[in-house]
Amino acid sequence: MRKYLLSTSAIAGVSLISSLALADVAIKGSMEFEYSSTDSNIAGFDGTATGSDAEVGIVFTNKTDSGLTVTFDNQFDTDAGTMDQHSLTIAGGFGTFVMGASDGAEDKYSMNPGSVTQEESNASTLTNTASTTQIGTSTGARQDGDSSRISYHLPAMGGFTAGISQRTTLAGGADVTGMGMNYVMDIEGVAVKIGYSTATTENATKDLDSSSLGIQAVINGITLSVAQGSYEATDEDQTTDSAGVGYTLANGVALGAFTVKSKDTLDAGEEYTATHYEAAYTIASGLTAVVTVSDFDYENGTAADTGATDESGSITTLNIKASF
């Protein structure tokens, strides 16, 4: 009997090791070095600087006998020495569940014309430190982040995709619910994408509500995108408009530009505008050089935002990006 138990234990152990070995493991990494030159009316931000950003990702993927695809994704921000994202994804004919510290539905489905470029604009209201009163600098997600949440995404139905996410907390009851949808279609050879997303954070004084609505079209290799975002909170009623265009030349140089304008109707005169230009060139597989120029202007108006100061200027950067 003892020999039988040992035999069955050994078989079970080999079977477990074998099943674990079936999991695909992918390791990826990226490193970005940036040199920036800032011309600002605020002395503390005027001058040159260097910076870097590095990430490592480890992804485990397994497919069960029942046809489910199970993925365990770990993303590390190595220059900060912290975990960036980690999530468990279960996908099948029913759709996809994502559980863990990852982006929610608002981020996945929001429309941001700034995505036509590889680098987001560095021009931001650097002195506006109040998170609930900061003016919008894009039409993308305003209430997202990598906090623990659960998301569900419907299986694609033609060109339609949609999802919902929920983040719950005990303290303060600041639960966040996000949802969104995308629809893609082809109209006479023009690839069109329409997107809408919304999110709400529960708040005792006034709920935080944000939304994004936009459209993107690809015509003869030219990408055109426009979107509008909104954000409402205590003493905040912001509207942000953005437009972008991108095109890759025959020599491989990718050109992109976008503009954004945001204003708050509850704080008279508070307004933010920025224009971003970019040229990116792939030096070799996984190695890219990107040059950007961003012009920006922030007017505080009559806003009572703590630390908010009028600011304008331009930022020029050279980025060397490597991915592995």
Question: DSSP labels for 216-234?
Answer: EEEETTEEEEEEEEEEEET
Residue count (the chain): 324
CA proximity to 181, closest of 138, 144, 212, 217:
212
Domain spans of the chain, in order of start? 25-323
Look at residue 252 and tell me whether its pLDDT is greater than 70.
Answer: yes
Query: Any idea what DSSP says for residue 249?
Result: -
Report pLDDT for 8.
40
Report pLDDT for 29.
95
* Contacts of 69 by beta carbon, 8 Å cutoff, 6+ apart: 61, 62, 63, 89, 90, 91, 92
Look at residue 163 and tell me whether its pLDDT is greater than 90.
Answer: yes
* Contacts of 3 by beta carbon, 8 Å cutoff, 6+ apart: none
Residue-wise pLDDT for 259-309, tens only, equals 999 998 888 788 889 899 999 999 999 999 999 999 988 888 775 555 567
d(CA 196, CA 198): 7
Does the pTM exceed 0.75? yes
SS3 string, 105-174, reads HHHHHCCCHHHHCCCCCCCCCCCCCCCCCCCCCCCCCCCCCCCEEEEEECCCECCEEEEEEEECCCCCCC
CATH code: domain 25-323 is 2.40.160.10
Residue-wise pLDDT for 56-82, tens only, equals 999 999 999 999 999 999 999 988 788
Q: What type of residue sits at position 85? A: Q
* Contacts of 229 by beta carbon, 8 Å cutoff, 6+ apart: 110, 136, 138, 139, 140, 142, 210, 211, 212, 213, 239, 240, 242
Residue-wise pLDDT for 5-53, tens only, equals 334 444 444 443 444 446 899 999 999 999 999 898 888 788 898 989 8
